[in-house]
C-alpha cells in the first residue's frame, strides 16, 4: 500500500485549480496524469527576459519586459492588415502589432489611457520600434514574474506554455519533504541538495548550465532514478535465492550427435557461451542468463544445444520467438537439425488450428513433445506443459515482462535463457538486466565475409534500379527497406507500396511486397517465395528487421537511412552476409543531412561490430533515445542521460547492494526512506515480475 505521505504526490492533475478535463488530457498525453508526473516534466530550454526602464533603453531583438501607457488603437480595414496599438512612455513610442487578432480582446486587455505591462521581442529600426504579438499582457505588479531567466517546457498541440508552466509550479508547491534515502556523506561529497530541493531548482534555472544533464540538480534526480532501478534488482537477487532451481544435468545423448551433424564448427565464443550455460543448468540454483551476440553470431545454435541438454535431463523446453515468420523459421531449422534424434518438436502460433493443434496440445500436456517453438500463442492458458524446465526467449525486448512471466510460470522454477542481437554496453546492461548473468558471443562464423557498406544520395536512385539486374543475373536476392508502408501526409518519405510499383514495372513477378499490415499467412507466403527464389527482390518495412535468414540474399538497400537509428540499421544490414557469398548494404539518404544523420551513416560505413555500434549510438543519441529504446529494450528513464550518467549506474548498484545486504527487508530508517523512493518511481509492483529477466 502506498504510504500516506505520498498520497498527494499521486493525485490527478485535475486536483489543481483551473485544470479541466480537456487540459488534463493534454497534460496526460505530454507527461502523465499525476502531480508527480507534472513535476518530473523538466524544462528543456530557458529564455532571458530583460526588464527595461524605458522603450528607448530596450535593445532590439531581445525579450523585453516594459511598463507602458496605452495610446490609440489602429483597427485594420481588412483581415490581411495587422491591428496596431500605439503605446508610449516618457522616452518615446512603440507599436504593438497583432495579426488575425480579435478586436474585442485587444480593446479589453489594452484599454486606451491605461498602464499595462507587456513582454515580447523588441524590433527596432531607424524609423520605428515595435513588438509583434507580445507573449504577455498584464499589470505592472506582474513585473517580477516577467524578468530574468524563465524555464521553457516541451509542449503538445493545444497546450499553451503559460498553462503548463503555471500547473507545474503549482504542483511543485504540493511536493512533500521526504526523509533522505541517500547517505548524508554521499550527498555532501557530490555537492547535491535534497530530492525536493533538487526538483524545485530544476524548474528554476538561472543559467543554461542548470538545464544540462551534468548540473547537480539533474545528476541528483538521475541518481535517485538509477538507485530505485538497482534497488529493485538487488531485492530480487537477495530474495530470489530462496527459489531454488532444479539441476538440469545433461548426458550428451543428443548434444554430441547434434554437434557432429552441424555443417560448421562452433566458434570459440559459441563454445564458451554454451559451456557457461551448461554449467549454470547443472547447478541447483535457477539459471536466468542473457546471451548477447551480434547479428549472425550464432546464438540460436547455442540455445538449441542448451535445449537439447534440458531434454537429456528429462525436461520439456520452450522457444519463444517475437514473430510468426521467425517462429516458423526456427521451427523448420530446429526440426531439421534434430531429425535424426529421438526429439519431438512442435510449432505453436496463432495460425495453428484444427485437429493438428488439438493433437499437439494433448501431446504437450502428456509430456510427449520435447520442444515447443512458438510466438505469443505459447502464453495462452490452453498451452499446458507436463514438465517445462527450460525456456528460451528470443529478442526478449519484443515481449512485455508480464508476457514472459506467463510462459515461464508454466514450469516450476524453469531455467531461463534470454537472447538479444542488439548488443548493449555492459554498464547499460545493469539498468535492464541487473539480475541476469551475461554471456557475450563476440565473433562471427569464420566463413562469413565482410559486408560492403556504401552511402548514396536518394537522388541517384535510378542508378540503383539499373544495378539490380546484375544481382538477379547471379541468382542472388535483394532486400529493399522503406520507412513507411504507404504515402503519408505528415512525412515526405519513401514508402514501400510506391517502390514496389516502380520496381514491379521493371522486374515483373520477381518483386514482392512485405509489411506489418498483411495477414500472417500472406507474410509467410511472400517470405517462403523469397526463400525459394520465386521472388528475388523483397520490398519491405522493418518487419524483416530481426532474425530472418535467407542465405542467398546478398544486397540490403535501406531507403531514407537517415531516418533509422543505428541499432536498427545494424539489424537490417544483418539480414545479408549470412553465407560465403559477398554481400553489400546501400544506405540511401535524403538531403539536407543533419549532423546526427551524418554521424550515423559514417559509423555504419566504418564498422560492422555491433558492440562498437552500440557504444557509438550511445554517444550520438545522448538522452531520450539511446540505442533506440524501442529497438534495444532499454528503460525509458525520465532523468537518466546515458551519455553523461553512465558512471552513476555502477555507483547506484553498489549502494543498492550494500543497503539490501545490511537491511534485506528495508526496515531501518534508511530502508524505510528507500521504500519511499521505490514508491516514487513505482517499482514496488515490479519486483516480482522483473525476476523473469
Q: What is the pLDDT of residues 28-86, one digit of tens each?
A: 999 999 999 999 999 999 999 999 999 999 999 999 999 999 999 999 988 889 999 99
Residue 626 has pLDDT above 60, yes or no: no
Q: What is the mean pLDDT of residues 334-349?
A: 93
List, in sequence order, the alpha helices (H) in 191-263: 195-202, 216-240, 255-261
617 CA to centre of own chain:
13
**Residue partners of 641: CB distance under 8 A and separation at least 6:** 213, 218, 222, 622, 623, 624
- Phi then psi for 109, rounded to 5 degrees? -85, -25
At residue 509, the pLDDT reads 93
At residue 502, the pLDDT reads 92
At residue 399, the pLDDT reads 56
Candidate from 169-178, 493-502, 508-517 with smallest mean pLDDT: 493-502
Candidate from 220-224, 567-571, 658-662 with smallest mean pLDDT: 567-571
At residue 629, the pLDDT reads 34
The 10 Å Cβ neighbour count of residue 509 is 10
Nine cell digits for residue 295? 547479428
Task: Determine the Cα–Cα distance for residues 344 and 342; give it in Å rounded to an integer.
Answer: 7
Q: What is the mean pLDDT of residues 507-534?
A: 88
Candidate from 5-19, 238-252, 256-270, 638-652 with smallest mean pLDDT: 238-252
| Dihedral sign of CA atoms 23, 24, 30, 36 in order | positive
Residue 690 has pLDDT above 50, yes or no: no
Task: Determine the Cα–Cα distance for residues 563 and 569; give it in Å rounded to an integer.
Answer: 10
Q: What is the mean pLDDT of residues 223-246?
A: 78
Higher pLDDT, 363 or 325: 363
- Phi then psi for 95, rounded to 5 degrees? -105, 135
At residue 693, the pLDDT reads 39
400 CA to centre of own chain:
13
Helix (H, G, I), strand (E, B) or coil at 673: helix
> What is the per-residue pLDDT across 280-321, written as a single tens digit (0 to 9) for each?
999 988 888 889 887 778 899 999 999 999 999 999 999 998
Q: Tell me which residue of 578, 369, 587, 571 sits closest to 458, measured CA to CA.
A: 587
User: Across the chain, what does the average pLDDT equal?
Assistant: 87
Candidate from 309-318, 328-337, 471-480, 611-620 with smallest mean pLDDT: 611-620
Helix (H, G, I), strand (E, B) or coil at 388: strand
Query: What's the predicted TM-score (pTM) here?
Result: 0.66
> What is the per-residue pLDDT across 369-413, written as a single tens digit (0 to 9) for each?
999 999 888 988 889 999 999 999 887 555 555 566 677 778 888
Q: Cell 531485492 appears where?
A: 235
Residue 589 has pLDDT above 90, yes or no: yes
pLDDT more than 70, % of the chain: 90
Residue 234 has pLDDT above 70, yes or no: yes
Nine cell digits for residue 313? 535431463
495 CA to centre of own chain:
23
Residue 689 has pLDDT above 70, yes or no: no
Amino acid at each position: 500500500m502506498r504510504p500516506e505521505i505520498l498520497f498527494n504526490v499521486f493525485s490527478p492533475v485535475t486536483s489543481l485549480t483551473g485544470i479541466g478535463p480537456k487540459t488534463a488530457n493534454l497534460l496526460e498525453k505530454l507527461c502523465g496524469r499525476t502531480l508527480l508526473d507534472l513535476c518530473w516534466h523538466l524544462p528543456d530550454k530557458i529564455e532571458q527576459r530583460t526588464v527595461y526602464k524605458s522603450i528607448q533603453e530596450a535593445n532590439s531583438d531581445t525579450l523585453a519586459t516594459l511598463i507602458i501607457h496605452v495610446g490609440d488603437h489602429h483597427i485594420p480595414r481588412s483581415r490581411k492588415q495587422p491591428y496596431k496599438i500605439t503605446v508610449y512612455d516618457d522616452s518615446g513610442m512603440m507599436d504593438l502589432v497583432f495579426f488575425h487578432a480579435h478586436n474585442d480582446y485587444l480593446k479589453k486587455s489594452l484599454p486606451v489611457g491605461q498602464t499595462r505591462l507587456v513582454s515580447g521581442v523588441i524590433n527596432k529600426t531607424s524609423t520605428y520600434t515595435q513588438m509583434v504579438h507580445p507573449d504577455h499582457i498584464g499589470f505592472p505588479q506582474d513585473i517580477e514574474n516577467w524578468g530574468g531567466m524563465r524555464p521553457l517546457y516541451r509542449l503538445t498541440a493545444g497546450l499553451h506554455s503559460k498553462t503548463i508552466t503555471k500547473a507545474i509550479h503549482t504542483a511543485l508547491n504540493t511536493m512533500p519533504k521526504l526523509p533522505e534515502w541517500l547517505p548524508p556523506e554521499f550527498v555532501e561529497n557530490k555537492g547535491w541538495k535534497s530530492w525536493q530541493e533538487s526538483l524545485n531548482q530544476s524548474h528554476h534555472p538561472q543559467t543554461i548550465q542548470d538545464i544540462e544533464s551534468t548540473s547537480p540538480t539533474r545528476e541528483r534526480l538521475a541518481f535517485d532514478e538509477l538507485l530505485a532501478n538497482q534497488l529493485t534488482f538487488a531485492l530480487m537477487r537477495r530474495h530470489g535465492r530462496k527459489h531454488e532451481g532444479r539441476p538440469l544435468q545433461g548426458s550428451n545423448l543428443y548434444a554430441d550427435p547434434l554437434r557432429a551433424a552441424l555443417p560448421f564448427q562452433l566458434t570459440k565464443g559459441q563454445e564458451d557461451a554454451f559451456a557457461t550455460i551448461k554449467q549454470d543448468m547443472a547447478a541447483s540454483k535457477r539459471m536466468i542468463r542473457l546471451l548477447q551476440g551480434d547479428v549472425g553470431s550464432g546464438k540460436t545454435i547455442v540455445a538449441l544445444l542448451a535445449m537439447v541438454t534440458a531434454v537429456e535431463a528429462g525436461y520439456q523446453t520452450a522457444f519463444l520467438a517475437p514473430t510468426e515468420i521467425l517462429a516458423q523459421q526456427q521451427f523448420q531449422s530446429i526440426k531439421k537439425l534434430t531429425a535424426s534424434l529421438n526429439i519431438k518438436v512442435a510449432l505453436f502460433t496463432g495460425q495453428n488450428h484444427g485437429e493438428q493443434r488439438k493433437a499437439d496440445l494433448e501431446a504437450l500436456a502428456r509430456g510427449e513433445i520435447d520442444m515447443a517453438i512458438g510466438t505469443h500463442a505459447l502464453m495462452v492458458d490452453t498451452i499446458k506443459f507436463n514438465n517445462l524446465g527450460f525456456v528460451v526467449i528470443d529478442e526478449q525486448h519484443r515481449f512485455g515482462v508480464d508476457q514472459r512471466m506467463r510462459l515461464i510460470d508454466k514450469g516450476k522454477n524453469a531455467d531461463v535463457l534470454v537472447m538479444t542481437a542488439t548488443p548493449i554496453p555492459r554498464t547499460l546492461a545493469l539498468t535492464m538486466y541487473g539480475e541476469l548473468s551475461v554471456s557475450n558471443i563476440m565473433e562471427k562464423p569464420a566463413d562469413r565475409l565482410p559486408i560492403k557498406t556504401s552511402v548514396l544520395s536518394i537522388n541517384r536512385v535510378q542508378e540503383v534500379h539499373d544495378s539490380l539486374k546484375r544481382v538477379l543475373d547471379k541468382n542472388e536476392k535483394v532486400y529493399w527497406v522503406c520507412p513507411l508502408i504507404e504515402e503519408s501526409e505528415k512525412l515526405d518519405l519513401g514508402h514501400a507500396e510506391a517502390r514496389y510499383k516502380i520496381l514491379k514495372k521493371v522486374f515483373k513477378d520477381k518483386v514482392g511486397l512485405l509489411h506489418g499490415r498483411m495477414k500472417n499467412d500472406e507474410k509467410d507466403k511472400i517470405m517462403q517465395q523469397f526463400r525459394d527464389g520465386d521472388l528475388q527482390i523483397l520490398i519491405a518495412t522493418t518487419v524483416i528487421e530481426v532474425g530472418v535468414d535467407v542465405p542467398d540474399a546478398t544486397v540490403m538497400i535501406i531507403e531514407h537511412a537517415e531516418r533509422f537509428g543505428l541499432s536498427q540499421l545494424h539489424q537490417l544490414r544483418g539480414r545479408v552476409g549470412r553465407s560465403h557469398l559477398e554481400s553489400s548494404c546501400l544506405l540511401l539518404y535524403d538531403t539536407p543531412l543533419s549532423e546526427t544523420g551524418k554521424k550515423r551513416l559514417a559509423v555504419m560505413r566504418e564498422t560492422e561490430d555491433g558492440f562498437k555500434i552500440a557504444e557509438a549510438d550511445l554517444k550520438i543519441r545522448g538522452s531520450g533515445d539511446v540505442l533506440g529504446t524501442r529497438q534495444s529494450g532499454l528503460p525509458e528513464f525520465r532523468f537518466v542521460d546515458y551519455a553523461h550518467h553512465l558512471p552513476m549506474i555502477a555507483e547506484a548498484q553498489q549502494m543498492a547492494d550494500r543497503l539490501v545486504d545490511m537491511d534485506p527487508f528495508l526496515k531501518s530508517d534508511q530502508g524505510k526512506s528507500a521504500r519511499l523512493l521505490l514508491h516514487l518511481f513505482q517499482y514496488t509492483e515490479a519486483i516480482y515480475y522483473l525476476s523473469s529477466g
